[in-house]
Amino acid sequence: MEQKLEKMKELTARLSEAARAYYQESREIMSNFEYDRLYDELSALEQETGTVLAGSPTQKVGYEVLSELPKEAHPAAMLSLDKTKEVETLQEWLGEQEGLLSWKLDGLTIVLTYEGGTLAKAVTRGNGEIGEVITNNARVFENIPVRISYKGTLVLRGEAVIRYSDFEKMNQEIEDLDARYKNPRNLCSGSVRQLNNEITAGRHVNFMAFALVRAAGEDFHNSRLEQFQWLKAQGFEVVEHQMVTRETLPEKVAYFAGAIKDYDIPSDGLVLTFDDIAYGESLGRTAKFPRNSIAFKWADEIRETTLSYIEWSPSRTGLINPVAVFEPVELEGTTVSRASVHNISIMEALELGEGDSVTVYKANMIIPQIADNLTRSGVKNIPAVCPVCKGATEIRQVNDVKSLYCTNPDCQAKKIKSFTLLVSRDALNIDGLSEATLEKFIGAGFIREFSDIFHLDRHREAIVEMEGFGQRSYDNLIQAVAASSHTTLVRLVYGLGVAGIGLANARMLCRHFKYDFAAMRTADSESLTEVDGIGQVLADAWCGYFGDPKNQGIVDRLLAELTIEPVEEEETSGEFAGMTFVITGSVEHFKNRKELQSLIESKGGKATGSVTARTTYLINNNANSASSKNKKARELGIPILSEEDFLKLLEGEYHAD
C-alpha cells in the first residue's frame, strides 16, 4: 500500500507539472500520449486503493485562472467527462437508450448568457469552478449571433475554436518560422483570453454550441436533439452530431473516424450524450464526471520503428530544436518519418538514443509524435557546437524545461532567419530577397547587418554574375529595396525580430507610445507591461534587446536608411485628456471596474494596470490599505482618490488636501 501511495504522489506531481505547463504557459513538456498513459495509471491506483490525494489531476478540471480578466464563479461546477477508447464500452454505457454522438472539439469551453435576445455575458470554463469573463472578446467571434429571436434567459455552452484552414493561413502570413503559432488550440486559448478584443477579432475565433443549459419556457420534448435544432434556429452553429443506438454506434464512430482527416476544426475525440434529458439528469454525477455523457478518445494507430538519428534544427532566437528522424512508417493513411521532440527534457524522459526501437502515432490523428521508447538507450551526443555555425552551444533550463541554444551571436542561422523576417511582407516587404537569396548574399559577405541591405548597389557586378540573377533581376531588387525605405514604425518594430513581438504586439506598442520610437526603445519593464498584450516575459525580451549596445547600433544604422511615415493619431480631448488612472480594489458607485475604466476613457483619460511615474491618480476606496499599489503611489507622491473624490474630480470640484 505504501509503495502505491508513493507512486500516486509521483504521478500527481508529474501530471500537475505537465498540465500547468500546457494550460497556463502554452508549452509542452510531455506528449499527450504519455499524459494519458500516466493519468490512466493514477486513476487505476486511486480506484484500487480507494484513496485520492490532495491536488490529484483526476480531481481538477481545466487550467487555473491567472490572467487579469474579471473572474466569476459558475452557478454549478463545469465537470469534465469520463472517457474510453473502446466502442464496446460506449455500447454498454448507452444500453437501450438513444444517444447523440458528436465531435469532442479541441479549443476552449465558453458559457454564453443571452438576456432579452442580446448577448449579456461570456465566461470561460476556467478551473471548472471559476472562469474568466470574456464578453467583449466573444462579441467579436466570427459566428456568434449578436441578437437572437428568443427573448428569455438563455444559457448555453460551446467550444471556442480556430479552424485549421484559418490557422494555416495566419501562419503562412508569418514568414519568420520561429514566430509562427504552434497549434490551433494554444492560439485559440490566447486569443479568447486577450485583454484587448481587437487582437481577438483578427484571430478568426468561432463558437460551436454543444449543450443547452437553460431556456425557460421552451419545450424541447425531453430531447437533446430538439435542443440542438432549436439552437440552430436561433442562429448558432452547433457541433456536428449523429443520432445513435447501441446497434448503430460502431458504424457512426467509423464515420467520424473517416471524416477527421478532412475535418477543418480541431478535435480530439467524440462525445456521446443521452438524448433523453430527464433520464440523463436522473443519473446524477460523480465527484468529477456527469453521468449523462461520456467521451470517446481515438485509439491511436501506433507503429513500431527504429530511430535513425536526432536532427538539430537552429532557429532565429538561437533555440536548437530536436527532431526525431526514424524509419518511415504508415500512419493514418500517410507515410511519416519525422516527429518534433520539442526539447531536451522530453528527450530525457523518453531516454531517446539513436538505434532505439520507438513507437509513433499521430496526435489527434494529425501530428506525428513519439509514443514510447522500447529500448531506452539514453540521450547521447547532444551537440556541443551549432550544426550551422559550429559555435558553442549551451543547455539552458527555463521553467523546468531544458533546451539547447547556440551562443554565437553571429550564427548564420540566426542571421538568415532574422533578415528573412526583416524583409518579409509584414515588415519592410522587399520583393526579391528570398531566404535562399539572403543566404547567398550573407555567405558572400554582402550583408552583415540590417543596414547593408540598402547598399547592395556596392556589389552590382558580383550580384549580376550570380546564378539566377542578371541585370533585370538586379534592377528589380534595387528598386524594391529603395521602395522599402519608406515604411511605417509598426513594420520596423515587427521586423526587428524582438523575441515574441509579433505584428499585433508591434501595433499595440506603437499606439501606446504614440509612435514615439525613442520612448519605446528606452521604456522600462514596468512601462511596457502597461501595454495591452505585453506581459513580463515580452517586456523582459524587449528590454534585453535594447539593453544590448550592439543592437542599439544596428538599429541606429538601419534607421538612418529609412523614412518612417508619420501616423496621424486622433487628438485626445475631454476632461481627463493627458491623465492616467490606475483602479484597484472594489467599487461601489459603478457596476464594476470596467465600467469606471470606460468612463475614464470616454473623457479622454487612460486606465492602466500598474502605478508608475506616469500615473496621475490611483483610485482606491481604501486609501489606507497596505497594498503594493498604494505603497507605490505614496512613494511616487501620486494622489489616491476614493470614488467620491473621483466623482468630484469629474465635476471639477476635487481639491487635493
Catalytic positions, written as ranges: 104
200's CB contacts (< 8 A; 6+ apart) are 137, 140, 141, 191, 192, 194
User: Is residue 654 classed as helix, strand or coil in its secondary structure?
Assistant: coil
φ/ψ region of 38 (left if φ > 0, alpha if ψ in -120 to 50, else beta) reads alpha
Q: What is the CA radius of gyration of the chain?
A: 28
3-class secondary structure per residue, 212-272: EEEECCCCCCCEHHHHHHHHHHCCCCECCEEEECCCCHHHHHHHHHHHHHHCCCCEEEEEE
280-310 burial by CB neighbour count: b if 16+ within 10 A, else e? Answer: beeeeeeebbbbbbbbbbbebeebebebbeb
Of the candidates 571, 564, 435, 569, the residue with the CA atom closest to the CA atom of residue 492 = 564
The one-letter amino acid at 304: E
Q: Which helix (H) or strand (E) holds 469?
A: none
How far CA 321 is from CA of 310, 316, 387, 599, in Å, comes to 10, 11, 11, 48
Phi, psi (deg, nearest 5) at residue 405: -130, 150
Four-CA torsion 505, 511, 513, 516, nearest 10 degrees: 100
Centre a 10 Å sphere on the Cβ of residue 570 and count the other Cβ atoms it contains: 5
Measure the CA–CA gap between 520 and 605, rounded to whole angstroms: 20
Of the candidates 113, 149, 139, 118, the residue with the CA atom closest to the CA atom of residue 232 = 149
DSSP 399: T
